[in-house]
């Protein structure tokens, strides 16, 4: 029972991370793809989702599942509305100038983070998972006395972690259908392809932008609600998801949604595996440097196409 089970465990942990990361990064990628702006405050919408989940769960009380389901609906909705309002009040007025948008979203980042500090406080607080029974996974190994079976005391995971993976995958599929099959998805893709022509065809581009910005934030908030029963809600928790989402979006190719999801799986899994076997700080240093170099030498990302 040495390397194998640890690897299995690392892959499982990595898959949970990858599931959450793919949702968060998808939000960032969507905003960059359609609006061509970088939302530096994206991590704070993730934090907002987690903090709202705590507020909703505490306010409702009762069985943890009630609060959790309510949070899954309410938190992304509120985060989305706040983001759309920020877009309407601030980003629209700087005309989505890339640099001004970055500065403005840095401002929004601090406003949200510090408001959370004032209203929610500096503590990290847990949210109870709706269900959380342990599943023991069997493990067979060739030991000293021949074949040995480790069960149920080998290693295990929890039902909740499996649920996170399934829920994220379901949402990704739903989002894909929404983007490729629905009318609003079509409008979004049209705006992404050519803003001017879309405008000429009567698409209310400004309203589409506000919706896309809200949708991006809602995805991050949804991911946060999923992860908050495993980690905890804290006002500074937005930094890591932001950095990882940046990494994923860049590796996947700026604006390419398929690339983003592939990269999220790659980065999430390897992040989980590396941090089980190596120092997490070293892993982060290498990952960050690697991404910077990808951006320098292959700006279209690993999966992106070269711009014409």
Partner 1 sequence: MSETGKIWALHLALIAALIVAGLVLPAYHQGNLARILVLATYAVGYNLLFGYTGLLSLGHAMFFGAGMYGLGLAMQHGDVSALPAFVIGLICAAVLAAVVALLALRTIGVAFMIVTLMFAQSAFLTVLYFGEWTRGDEGFVLQQATRQIAGVDLSEPTNRYYAALILFSAALLITLKLVRARFGRVLVAIRENEERTRMLGYDCFRHKFLAVVLSGTLSGAAGAAYGLLFGYVGASFTGVQYSIFPLLWVLLGGAGTVIGPFVGALFMFYLIDYASGWTSAYMLIAGAVLVALTLFAPLGLMGELRKRWLRWLP
Tokens representing residue 255 in the block: 């604006």
292 is a site residue for partner 1 (CB under 8 A): yes
107 is a site residue for partner 1 (CB under 8 A): yes
Say how far apart CA 82 and CA 87 lie, in whole Å.
Answer: 9
Tokens representing residue 137 in the block: 């996974």
CA distance readout (Å), 188 to 25, 168, 208, 262: 18, 22, 7, 21
Three-state SS at 148: strand
Decide whether 161 or 195 has the Cβ nearer to partner 1: 195
Among 99, 141, 194, 206, binds partner 1 (CB under 8 A): 99
Say how far apart CA 79 and CA 168 lie, in whole Å.
Answer: 18
200 is a site residue for partner 1 (CB under 8 A): no
Tokens representing residue 33 in the block: 């793809």
- H or E element at residue 226: helix 205-227
**Stretch near partner 1 under the rule CB under 8 A, chosen from 12-20, 133-141, 168-176, 294-302:** 294-302
Contact 110, 218 (CB under 8 A): no
Say how far apart CA 43 and CA 270 lie, in whole Å.
Answer: 21
- Kindly identify the residues of this chain, within the stretch 17-46, that bind partner 1 according to CB under 8 A: 38
Nearest-approach distance from CB 94 to partner 1, in angstroms: 5
In this structure, what DSSP letter does residue 160 have? Answer: H
288 is a site residue for partner 1 (CB under 8 A): yes
115 is a site residue for partner 1 (CB under 8 A): yes
**Stretch near partner 1 under the rule CB under 8 A, chosen from 20-28, 58-66, 265-273, 283-291:** 283-291
111 is a site residue for partner 1 (CB under 8 A): yes
10 Å Cβ neighbour count for 221?
33
168 is a site residue for partner 1 (CB under 8 A): no
First vs last C-alpha separation in the chain: 53
- Kindly identify the residues of this chain, within the stretch 248-277, that bind partner 1 according to CB under 8 A: 250
Say how far apart CA 42 and CA 81 lie, in whole Å.
Answer: 14
Among 1, 65, 85, 98, binds partner 1 (CB under 8 A): 98
Contact 41, 109 (CB under 8 A): yes
Decide whether 168 or 287 has the Cβ nearer to partner 1: 287
**Stretch near partner 1 under the rule CB under 8 A, chosen from 15-23, 94-102, 123-131, 193-201:** 94-102
- What is the size of the binding site for partner 1 (CB under 8 A)? 41
Q: Give the interface with partner 1 as residue ranges (CB under 8 A).
A: 38, 90, 93-94, 98-100, 102-104, 106-115, 117-118, 122, 239, 243, 246, 250, 279, 281-282, 284-285, 288-289, 291-293, 295-297, 299
């Amino acid at each position: 029972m040495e390397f194998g089970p640890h690897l299995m465990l690392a892959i499982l942990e990595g898959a949970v991370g990858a599931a959450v990361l793919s949702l968060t990064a998808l939000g960032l990628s969507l905003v960059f793809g359609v609006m061509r702006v970088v939302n530096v405050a994206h991590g704070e919408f993730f934090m907002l989702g987690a903090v709202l989940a705590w507020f909703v769960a505490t306010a409702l009380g009762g069985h943890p599942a009630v609060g959790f389901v309510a949070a899954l609906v309410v938190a992304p909705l509120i985060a989305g509305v706040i983001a759309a309002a920020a877009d309407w009040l601030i980003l629209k007025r700087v005309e989505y100038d890339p640099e001004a948008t970055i500065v403005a979203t840095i401002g929004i980042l601090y406003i949200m983070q510090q408001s959370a500090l004032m209203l929610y406080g500096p503590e990290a607080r847990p949210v109870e998972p709706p269900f959380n029974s342990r599943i023991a996974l069997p493990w067979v190994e060739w030991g000293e006395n021949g074949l040995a079976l480790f069960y149920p005391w080998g290693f295990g995971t929890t039902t909740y972690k499996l649920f996170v993976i399934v829920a994220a995958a379901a949402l990704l599929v739903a989002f894909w259908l929404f983007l490729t099959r629905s009318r609003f998805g079509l409008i979004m893709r049209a705006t992404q392809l050519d803003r001017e022509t879309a405008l000429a065809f009567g698409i209310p581009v400004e309203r589409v932008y506000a919706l896309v910005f809200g949708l991006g934030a809602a995805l991050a908030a949804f991911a946060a609600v999923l992860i908050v029963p495993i980690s905890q809600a804290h006002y500074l928790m937005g930094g890591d998801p932001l950095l990882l989402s940046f990494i994923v979006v860049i590796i996947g190719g700026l604006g390419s949604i398929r690339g983003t999801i592939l990269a999220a799986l790659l980065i999430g899994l390897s992040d989980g595996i590396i941090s089980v076997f190596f120092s997490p700080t070293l892993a982060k240093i290498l990952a960050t440097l690697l991404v910077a170099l990808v951006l320098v030498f292959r700006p279209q990302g690993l999966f992106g196409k070269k711009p014409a």
